[in-house]
Amino acid sequence: MTSDPTPAFRERVLALVARIPEGRVMTYGQLALLAGNPGAARQAGFVLNSLVGGSDLPWQRVINAQGRVSTHKVGFGDLQEGLLSAEGVVFRDGRCELSRVQWWPDDERAAPPEPLL
């Protein structure tokens, strides 16, 4: 896949992001996997980058596999951490505990029993 995600992938990513409950997170890799394109974490991030500041979708609920926000380099890291903290996601040393806050859709049979890192 090129850096420009296909419209179908973009739609699946956005539909998944819309379902992430308050106080829970998904990783970029997990989002790509569930959207049908395993290994396309960067493309999932590209889709979300277009939402920051201009969408009602909870873009802030998608973080990296280390439990950190990846938006500091584009100037939204403090905003993202603040939004997640307001939802009850606890960050210690810039990282949240994925084993406690990572969300998998109940209807997703492909979801592994352990958090995808």
Residue 108 covered by a domain = no
Residue 27 covered by a domain = yes
User: CA–CA distance from 26 to each of 2, 46, 86 (Å)?
Assistant: 22, 15, 17
Residue 41 covered by a domain = yes
Residue 19 covered by a domain = yes
pLDDT digits 0-9 by tens, 63-89: 999 999 998 888 889 999 999 999 999
- Which residue type does 41 have? A
pLDDT digits 0-9 by tens, 3-57: 567 899 999 999 999 999 999 999 999 999 999 999 999 999 999 988 766 789 9
pLDDT digits 0-9 by tens, 83-108: 999 999 999 999 999 999 999 998 76
Residue 24 covered by a domain = yes
Residue span of the structural domain in which 33 resides: 7-98
The total number of structural domains that make up the chain: 1
In this structure, is the dihedral angle defined by the CA atoms of residues 99, 80, 20 and 16, taken in order, positive or negative? Answer: negative
- Whichever domain contains 20, its CATH number is 1.10.10.10
What's the pTM value of the predicted model, to 2 decimals? 0.85
